[in-house]
Amino acid sequence: MKGEKYISRLAERGSWESRQGTDKRGMAARAHADALRILAEHQVPPLEEVQERELDRIMQAASGN
């Protein structure tokens, strides 16, 4: 991907001096905190009736009935 960069929110790119007084957690700790926040906040929308019926049909076929 020439010319493209991905800059992760998890990685700290500043110098050690510029981090004084800021969040000093490592990348793994920030990723863990993000995962916990996402799991706590995420709301799964309910399936539509047609989707429910299709899943029921697939599961019925898979069980051999």
pLDDT digits (tens, 9 = 90+) for 4-30: 877 777 777 667 676 666 666 788 888
pLDDT, position 9: 76
Residue 40 tokens read as 């706590």
* Residue 23: inside a domain: yes
* Residue 55: inside a domain: no
Is it the case that residue 49 has pLDDT exceeding 80? yes
Is it the case that residue 62 has pLDDT exceeding 80? yes
* Residue 62: inside a domain: no
Q: Which residues of 24-43 are buried (b: 16+ CB within 10 A; e: fewer)?
A: eeeeeebeeeeeeeeeeeee
pLDDT, position 22: 62
Task: Identify the domain containing residue 25 by its residue range.
Answer: 9-42
pLDDT bracket for residue 36 (50, 70, 90): very high
The residues, any chain, with a CB within 8 Å of residue 10's CB and separated by 6 or more, are 27, 30, 31, 34
* 10 and 34 Cβ atoms separated by less than 8 Å: yes
* Residue 31: inside a domain: yes
pLDDT, position 21: 62
Q: How many domains does the chain have?
A: 1
